[in-house]
Structure 1
Amino acid sequence: MARNLDGFNFEQRHGKDRVRVGRVWRNKDGRHFFVEWSVSISLLSDCVAAYVRDDNSDVVATDTMKNTVYVKAKECSEQLSMEDFAILLAKHFISFYHPVTSAIIKIVEKPWERIYIDGQQHEHGFKLGSEKHTTEVILKKSGTLQVTSGIEGLALLKTTKSGFEGFIRDVYTALPETQERVLATEVTASWRYSYESLSSIPPNPHCFTERYLDVKKVLVDTFYGPPTQGVYSPSVQSTLYQMARNVLNRFLDISSVELKMPNIHFLPVNLKNKDNETIVKFADDVYLPTDEPHGSIQASLSRFWSKM
C-alpha cells in the first residue's frame, strides 16, 4: 500500500530470493520421493520506520525468512505439492508477524524425474528433466488468496502440419508464404486458479500436482493433435489460442491462462553460388536451426468473471 512521505508516494517490500531446498520423503515400503525448489519470499509489511527513522523493530530479517523455508520443509512429514508449500509459508508469515500484511511466495521446481531401469521405476533414482513447474501464491492478512501455477521451458516441435499465409506484405517483406514448415516453440504458461480463500482449497493434498500434469497434457496434446494425423497450425497465434481455450474448457477451477510462445525458426537450407542457382535444392528435409532472432507471440485468455 502506498504511503505519503514528505510529499512523495512511497511503497516498499522486502524478502529473500532463490532459497534452494531439497526434500526427500521416504515411504515405509522403501520408495523415495524427491523435490528441489527455489523459493522467493516477498513481504508487504508496516515497517516504514526502518526506511525513515532507522528503526528496525518491525522488520523480519531476510535470513529468518531463509531459515523458515528449511524449518517448514522439515515439518512437512508428508509429501505435498509446491503450491501447498507456498501457501503454508505465506500463512506462517502473515500470522506469525503482526506487521506483515501480505506474503508473496514464488517457487520454481527443478524437474527431477524418477528413472527407469529395465522398464521398472527405480525406488530412489532420479534424473534431471527439462521443463520447470512454477507457482506464485499471494496471501493477505484479510484472507484473500491468489494461486497461480505455470510451466517454463516446455520445448515443442513438429516437422509438418504448419504454415503461415495471408499476412501483410509490403516493400520490407521477404518472408514467403508457406503451407509446409517446421513449427517449434518453447512454451511459458501460467494459469490462475479460481480459489480466493484458504477454505476454498480442495482437501486433496495432491490436487495441484495432478492439475499441473493435466494442464501440461492438454497443452501438449493440442499442439500436436492425434498421433497419426496431427493437426494443422495456420499460425502460432492460432495454436496458442486453441491451447489456452482447451485448458479453460477442460478445467473449471482455472479462471485464466497466459501463454508465451516464441516462434523458434528452422530455416530451409538452399545452397547456391554465382554460377549455379541450385547446388542442393531444399525439399522439406534440411534446415538451419536458429534461436535468435525469433518471433514473439503471447496472449492471455480469461473467463469474464476472472480478476486477471
Structure 2
Amino acid sequence: MSQSAPYALPFHHHGKSKVRVGRVWREGNVHHMVEWNVNTMIDSDMEHAFIKGENTGMTATDTQKNTVYVVAQRMSQRCTVEQFAIALAQHFVRTYPLVSKAKIYVEQKPWARVQQGGLPHDHGYALQGTEVRTVYVTYDKAGKLDVTAGIKELSVLKTTQSGYEGFLRDQYTLLPEVNDRIMASTVTSTWKYTSQPPCYDAAFNAARGALLEGFLGPAKGGIYSPSVQFTLYDMAKILLDRVPQAESVFLNMPNLHFLPCAPVGSTFKNDVYVATSEPHGNIEAVVTRRTAAPHVSKL
C-alpha cells in the first residue's frame, strides 16, 4: 500500500476467546478445583499483517490458547483467579518481543465444595447459584499492571423496604407511586484496584459482602431503598469503605419487576406477584474516591 494512501490503522489487537480450563490442586486426599473461562487479547507490532499480509513475528491465537493451559499448570500452588490472570498477562509481554500489552479477562465458574454430613467433602463440588467472579488484567512492556476484579449475575431480592415516589409525571406516565414493593436485581459490578490487596480472595469476599449489605441492610429490619439509584450509590460507598485498595466501582443493576397480582375473585394483599424479567429498568453508574479516575467496565 502506498504511503500516501488515505488510510490509517490506529488500533488493532488479536486474541483467543472462551478458553475453558479446569485446574485441580491435590493436597493429599483433599483436592481444590476451579474452572476458568479465559479471554486473551494482545497489542503487538503487527501492522504488517493487516497492511501487507505478512505474519512474521505474530503470536497466533492458537498459541495464546495453548499458553492458557501451560500457565495454569505452572501455578503449582493454589492461586486466585487474579493471580492466574496476572501470570498469564506477564507471560505474553515478557516472552514475545513484539507484544506491547496483554489484556486478560477471566470468569470463574461458581463451583463450591459440597458438605456431606456436616463435613466438607474431600473432592466433591457442586455449582452454587448463578453468580460469576471476574477479573480483567492488563500488563505492558513498561511493567504497568492494572487489575479490575468483579462479579456478575449476583441475583438479589428483598420483599419489602423499597419504594419509588416523587418522580416526574406527565401524560405518558402510568406507573403508580409506591412505598412498599419487592426490589430485585441481577447485579454486575467491577472494582479497580489502585494497589494490590494482601489477599485477593479476602478482598473479593469483602466486596461481595459490601454489595449485599448495601442492597439488603441489616438482617433485622433491613434498610429502606427510595430508588435503585440511591441503593446503587450506597452499595458502591460501602465497597470502597471495606476494600481500601479499590478506587473505582462500576455497578449495573437492572430493576427486575414483581408486579402486584389480584388472583381471580380476590384482591391484592401483598402476597401474590407476577414475576417478570423484561422489559426492565436498567441503572448503572461509576462511583470513585474523590481524587480517583473512573474506570469502564470490561463487561
Using structure 2 for the length normalisation, give the TM-score. 0.94
Aligned equivalents of 1:7, 1:14: Cα separation in 2: 24
Aligned equivalents of 1:227, 1:299: Cα separation in 2: 26
Q: In the alignment, is residue 162 of structure 1 matched against residue 173 of structure 2?
A: no
Give unpaired runs (5+ residues) of structure 1. 196-200, 273-278
Q: 2:217 is matched with which residue?
A: 225
Q: 1:171 is matched with which residue?
A: 171
Matches within 5 A, 1:99-178: 99-129=98-128, 130-178=130-178
In the TM superposition, residue 271 of structure 1 has moved relative to its aligned partner by 4.7
Aligned equivalents of 1:282, 1:113: Cα separation in 2: 40
Aligned equivalents of 2:194, 2:6: Cα separation in 1: 39
Q: 1:75 is matched with which residue?
A: 74
Matched residue type, 1:219: L
Q: Is the 8 A contact 2:86 2:137 kept in 1?
A: yes
In the TM superposition, residue 306 of structure 1 has moved relative to its aligned partner by 2.1
Q: 1:276 is matched with which residue?
A: none
Q: 1:289 is matched with which residue?
A: 275
Would you identify which runs of 4 or more consecutive aligned residues in structure 1 move more than 6 Å? none
Alignment coverage as a number of residue pairs: 290
After superposition, give the CA deviation of every residue in 1:164-208 in whole Å (9 maximum; x if it has no partner).
Answer: 10000111111111111000000000000003xxxxx45x5xx11
Q: In the alignment, is residue 239 of structure 1 matched against residue 231 of structure 2?
A: yes
After superposition, give the CA deviation of every residue in 1:26-76 in whole Å (9 maximum; x if it has no partner).
Answer: 113x21110000110000000111111221112101111111111111111
Q: Is the 8 A contact 2:156 2:184 kept in 1?
A: yes
Q: In the alignment, is residue 256 of structure 1 matched against residue 270 of structure 2?
A: no
Q: In the alignment, is residue 304 of structure 1 matched against residue 290 of structure 2?
A: yes
| Two-structure CA RMSD over aligned residues (Å) | 1.4
Give unpaired runs (5+ residues) of structure 2. 295-299
* Alignment CA distance shift 1:6-1:210 (3 Å): farther
In the TM superposition, residue 263 of structure 1 has moved relative to its aligned partner by 0.4
Q: Is the 8 A contact 2:206 2:243 kept in 1?
A: no
Q: Is the 8 A contact 2:206 2:242 kept in 1?
A: no
In the TM superposition, residue 224 of structure 1 has moved relative to its aligned partner by 1.1
Using structure 1 for the length normalisation, give the TM-score. 0.91
After superposition, give the CA deviation of every residue in 1:215-268 in whole Å (9 maximum; x if it has no partner).
Answer: 101111221111121111111111111000111122220000010110000000
Q: 1:198 is matched with which residue?
A: none
Matched residue type, 1:87: I
Aligned equivalents of 2:38, 2:137: Cα separation in 1: 11
Aligned equivalents of 2:245, 2:4: Cα separation in 1: 41
Aligned equivalents of 1:302, 1:210: Cα separation in 2: 21
Q: 2:24 is matched with which residue?
A: 24
Moved more, 50-59 or 34-43: 50-59
* Alignment CA distance shift 1:109-1:5 (3 Å): farther
In the TM superposition, residue 209 of structure 1 has moved relative to its aligned partner by 1.6
